[in-house]
Amino acid sequence: MADLQLKKVVKRFGAAEVIHGIDLEIADGEFVVFVGPSGCGKSTLLRMIAGLEEISDGEILIDGEVMNNVSAAKRGLSMVFQSYALYPHMSVRKNLAFGLETMKVPKAQINELVSNAAEILQINELLDRKPGQLSGGQRQRVAIGRAIVREPRIFLFDEPLSNLDAELRMQMRVEINRLHRRLGATMIFVTHDQVEAMTLADRMVVLRKGVVEQVGSPLDLYNHPANMFVAGFIGSPRMNFLKGRVGEVDGRQATLELDVGRKVQTTFAEPPRPGQPITLGVRPEDLIAAAPDEALLSGEAQITEQLGGETYVYISLSDGSMITVEIKGQAGVKAGERLDLAIADGKFHVFGEDEAVIHHG
């Protein structure tokens, strides 16, 4: 168990810089999730923490101690790989014991630690099998078991669930959550699945192209995205973005004129500049049906997706752009039907030209 600090961490592969000076602090016992689209540098950052990639610039500190020149073997962390990376020639028991044997832990103690871990992960009956004789979910458990027997200072997970089917993913997610509470250990988890991220994280770190876009609790990021990227990345279906500009401004009161649709009134923290281009972001669940004369937007339903508990309707606006509306329950909207929509309770975000947020609703 330990805390972790990244100071201006940079990673270059040859001439290509893929991590551009990341600062981050992770407290002892925290569950932090790195999310971001493919290729944004999540794995690279995690592997730098693990000691599997060299740190090109900046510093990584564990418990205040600089780790840059400490080898992976000596950092006392453990990692669960996306590929599981189980030793194929060793039994499950040997896989779990390998790290302990390396540390020259006495035999009796190894047996105890291994059966403890096997107990927690319910892999008792599998101990004498080889990894090749296990299902994907069982391998996953063994991989996690191998990480926990060593009682590492920090757990690192690199998309450990991405090879599992939906049901198992959910199950393992719950188990990892439980494991975190039980062990109280610091955990860093990489995923590009935002449901995984939202459900597991104490804090999420959203990465894009090697830069941290925002750090915060899942709901914080959901409710107060710092920019259009985070707003669009978190939440499913995606937030709708509508282009427009600032109309009349009266003190902190301003009118927003959307390219498609009517005007919206709102109060800014700081008065915006009249005529300034903006993007208005509204989540699909915050769009509600309205009377035609009160509607902000109207369009024609194109596709309806019934999920049982909710319904997604894809609507084309007059300029051809598409927006998504989420309706609770099973709404019988037909293709071609006209819908008039308003925003519930002024729940929208406004982003400036640089995509940074200028107003939260």
Ligand X SMILES: Nc1ncnc2c1ncn2[C@@H]1O[C@H](COP(=O)(O)OP(=O)(O)OP(=O)(O)O)[C@@H](O)[C@H]1O
208 binds ligand X (CB under 6 A): no
Find, among 262, 268, 230, the residue nearest to 249 by Cα: 268
Neighbour tally for 33: CB within 10 Å: 25
* 174: phi then psi, degrees, rounded to nearest 5: -60, -40
Q: Which stretch binds Mg ion (CB under 5 A): 42-50, 92-100, 137-145, 349-357?
A: 42-50
Contacting residue, 1, 10, 61, 72, with other proteins by CB under 8 A: 72
Q: Which stretch binds ligand X (CB under 6 A): 42-50, 111-119, 131-139, 344-352?
A: 42-50
Q: Is beta strand 65-66 parallel, antiparallel or unpaired with respect to 78-80?
A: unpaired
192 binds ligand X (CB under 6 A): yes
**How many chain residues bind other proteins (CB under 8 A)?**
27
The secondary structure of residue 131, as a DSSP letter, is G
* Cβ proximity to Mg ion, 43 vs 140, nearer residue: 43
Q: Is beta strand 211-216 parallel, antiparallel or unpaired with respect to 203-208?
A: antiparallel
Q: Tell me how far, at minimum, the Cβ of 8 lies from ligand X, in Å.
A: 18
Q: Tell me how far, at minimum, the Cβ of 211 lies from ligand X, in Å.
A: 12
- Compute the 3-state secondary structure of the chain and give helix, strand, coil in percent, each to the nearest 5: 30, 35, 35
Cβ pair 34, 189 in contact under 8 A: yes
Contacting residue, 6, 41, 43, 296, with Mg ion by CB under 5 A: 43
Integer distance in angstroms from the first to the last C-alpha of the chain?
Answer: 39
Q: Tell me how far, at minimum, the Cβ of 42 lies from Mg ion, in Å.
A: 5
Contacting residue, 124, 133, 162, 302, with other proteins by CB under 8 A: 133
Cβ pair 126, 77 in contact under 8 A: no
Contacting residue, 103, 174, 219, 335, with other proteins by CB under 8 A: 103
Tokens encoding 87:
């030793």
Name the residues that contact ligand X, by CB under 6 A: 13, 18, 36, 38-44, 192
Name the residues that contact other proteins, by CB under 8 A: 50-52, 71-74, 76-79, 81, 83, 85-89, 98-99, 102-103, 130, 132-133, 146, 150
